[in-house]
Amino acid sequence: MTASRRFRTRRSGKPTSAQQASEVRREESLLKTGALQNAILNSANFSSIATDDKGVIQLFNVGAERMLGYAAADVIDKITPADISDPQEVIARAETLSRELGTTIAPGFDALAFKAARGIEDIYELTYIRKDGSRFPAIVSVTALRDDQSSIIGYLLIGTDNSARKRVEETLRWTEESFRLMVESVSDYAIVMLDPEGRVVSWNTGAERIKGFQADEIVGRHFAIFYPRDDVGAEKPQKDLNQAARDGRFEDEGWRVRKNGSLFWANIVVTAIRDQAGNLRGFAKLTRDLTARNKVEAVLTSAKAAAEKANLAKSEFLSSMSHELRSPLNAILGFAQLMESDSPAPTATQSESINQILNAGWYLLELINEILDLAAIESGRLSISLEPVSLNELLLECQSMIEPLAQRRSMRMSFPATGGDFHVHADRTRIKQVLINLLSNAIKYNTVGGSVVVDCSAKASAGRVRITVTDSGPGLPPEKLTQLFQPFNRLGQEATGEEGTGIGLVISKRLVELMDGAIGVESNVGMGSVFWVELRSTAPLTVPAAMETSPPAEAVSTTSAALRTLLYVEDNPANLTLVQRIISRRPDLRMLSAVDGQRGVELARTCLPDVILMDINLPGISGIEAMKILRDDKTTAHIPVLALSANAMARDIQKGMDAGFLRYLTKPIKVGEFMEALNIALEIADKARADVD
């Protein structure tokens, strides 16, 4: 204000009256203008520095004081703005301007005001130096101040502190630079930017490595060059881009071409890049070379195929070995059996020899069977069927099977007293195999005149039942216990002359585990051994209470008074007994039974029963398979067959119905349902018989 007033005062002459009138308007206007200038010049956020025509500071506002640390009095009439600017920058600017304008400009205030003095708008960046010597970046706008005759009377420099913007710019530059360096240095992935038409815009190290082009060879060329000829013919490159543009992202796996024409198997992800308005700016394309992975996969696939082939070959070999061994063994064992029972009877010495042949022969057969068993388990071909099994019955069967061996060895055997019975969830045939294995081991590896004790106990907490086989043998040291369940490890027993394959316990362990059970041993040298098997306990199959109280079912009145025959194919004695009890209330029915699918089919063909009741989980041939045989045989195809199974899954039932069963009943037996199904089956049988008659 002061300065402008002074300028004006210096310029004004003596006014006329007309001039006075206009002077008043101008004053008013100037007052307004002055107020505006006042506001601008006193702004704390801009440094406003006015100089005379030589550059000497005449005005230094509050903003300038704050930014530069000088008081106005420190600088006014004392220095020029060049004195508070970085001298190096002032020199550099003088040189640049000299070159630009083709004249020599001195490094000083001239360098700052030269352009403004010539009416050229001039805004530049420079570094101001504060009174305390610290520096900050500033943006400075320089304007020439002119009098009414357009003569320069001074300069106005308005500056802002540029530090914040500089910091942001620096950060941004650093981020962009880092990102660019990162992209460029990635060598495992080709990262390529494409313009919206598909021309290459940028090219990183990975792209160079994978595709073989240098950046200057490829930038600007269309990316279709990376596709095999057939794909280009099918316009795949454009289709891929279209899809990326439509969906935002496109992923593909396929062959691509290198510079040298060779192919590589690539994974490609193309991402569309759009600006804030949604306009397509181009594509980012990420390519991985999967050729190596593909090779590994190919190697793995072929290794797997080879292993499967080898496994098949092994199975075939074992099967044919089994056949080749069994044939001659049949003659050996057969003739030995004939000699054993010959008349006149063999002498004592001959009998001894014959016994040796028979023992060795049956042992060899056992060996063959165990090896086949183990192979079946290991290849996952062995299937087991779980159902409630009564331990009383199971142990009775085992006892009768093992008794002869125990007697030959003079072994005292003790089985749990019948009474309280446990039922376990098990495969009947396979758990018997396990127990026989444990029992025969307990007898064979015992001391002369020793004992074997079998016991059962509930492990109530876990809902499991434990069967223990305790022998009075020499016991095992800890280091041998760990080897017990390993194949072909006989723990030195091969030297004792005791026969054994060394795989019985291995098979037992696998079988028990297939039944969701556990097997183990506790032993001490000199204290004997305790082998145990734990299985899930389950509810027994019982005659339903309703049936016990109901009066005997009346014989269904039928047109025929003839006794009808029911054939029940079932391997579980508990089920046989149960059905027998139900049937005993039907005087018009008698029951035949078969313990496996083969015998069932044989009996059905021989006896032509009126109705067949078929268990599904049978040893050897399953109920489903037996059903198929019966259906395909015209002599038995007409017989109605009911399925009775512990498999109650919808899938199992459907499988049964597909096989052609009349009804699929699930265990435990519901008497009402069972009787109804039986009556329907008998009606069908009667009708079939009437048709034949």
Partner 1 sequence: MSTDGPAGRILIVDDQVSNIRLLEFTLRRAGYVDFASTTEPTEVAALQLENRYDLILLDLQMPGMTGFEVMQQLRNAEGPGRVSILVISADPALRLAALEAGCDGFLSKPFVITELLERVQFFLAKAGVRKSEKPKAPGVEPHSAGELPDP
Residues that bind partner 1 (CB under 8 A): 319, 322-324, 326-335, 337-338, 341, 361-362, 365-366, 369, 373, 397, 400-401, 565, 571, 592-595, 598-599, 601-603, 605-608, 620-621, 625, 628-629, 632-633, 635
491/592 with CB nearer partner 1: 592
> How do beta strands 47-52 and 152-161 pair?
antiparallel
Least gap, CB of 440 to partner 1 (angstroms): 13
The two structure tokens encoding residue 547: 């049936």
For residue 411, the tally of other CB atoms under 10 A from its CB is: 23
Q: Would you give the DSSP letter of residue 145?
A: E
Least gap, CB of 320 to partner 1 (angstroms): 9
The four Cα atoms 278, 279, 282, 284 give a dihedral, to 10 degrees, of 0
> How do beta strands 528-536 and 518-524 pair?
antiparallel
Least gap, CB of 636 to partner 1 (angstroms): 11
DSSP string, 277-326: T--EEEEEEEEEE-HHHHHHHHHHHHHHHHHHHHHHHHHHHHHHHHHHHH
Half-sphere exposure of 636 (CA within 13 A, CB side): 23
78/605 with CB nearer partner 1: 605
> How do beta strands 152-161 and 611-615 pair?
unpaired
Least gap, CB of 504 to partner 1 (angstroms): 14
* Ramachandran class of 417: left when φ > 0, alpha when ψ lies in -120 to 50, beta otherwise: beta
236/628 with CB nearer partner 1: 628
Residue ranges of the alpha helices (H) in 200-290? 205-211, 215-218, 229-233, 236-247
Least gap, CB of 464 to partner 1 (angstroms): 27
473/504 with CB nearer partner 1: 504
Least gap, CB of 348 to partner 1 (angstroms): 22
472/617 with CB nearer partner 1: 617
Task: Name the burial class of residue 627, with classes exposed (0-12), middle (13-18) and buried (19+) by CB atoms within 10 angstroms of its CB.
Answer: buried
The two structure tokens encoding residue 57: 């500071």
Least gap, CB of 409 to partner 1 (angstroms): 19
Least gap, CB of 626 to partner 1 (angstroms): 8
Least gap, CB of 596 to partner 1 (angstroms): 8
Least gap, CB of 336 to partner 1 (angstroms): 10
As a whole number of angstroms, the distance between CA 269 and CA 252 comes to 7
As a whole number of angstroms, the distance between CA 605 and CA 608 comes to 6
Half-sphere exposure of 163 (CA within 13 A, CB side): 8
Least gap, CB of 415 to partner 1 (angstroms): 17
The single-letter code of the amino acid at 179 is F
Residues whose CB is less than 8 angstroms from the CB of residue 395 and which lie 6 or more positions away in sequence, other chains included? 415, 416, 435, 454, 456
127/337 with CB nearer partner 1: 337
Least gap, CB of 573 to partner 1 (angstroms): 8
As a whole number of angstroms, the distance between CA 84 and CA 72 comes to 13
> How do beta strands 641-645 and 611-615 pair?
parallel
2/341 with CB nearer partner 1: 341
Least gap, CB of 571 to partner 1 (angstroms): 7
Least gap, CB of 362 to partner 1 (angstroms): 6
As a whole number of angstroms, the distance between CA 74 and CA 57 comes to 10
Residue carrying the six token digits 């805004």: 123
As a whole number of angstroms, the distance between CA 639 and CA 632 comes to 12
22-to-17, 19, 28, 146, 377 alpha-carbon distances in Å: 9, 5, 10, 22, 118
SS3 state at 458:
strand
Strand blocks (E) in 374-479: 387-390, 412-414, 423-426, 451-459, 464-471
The single-letter code of the amino acid at 353 is S
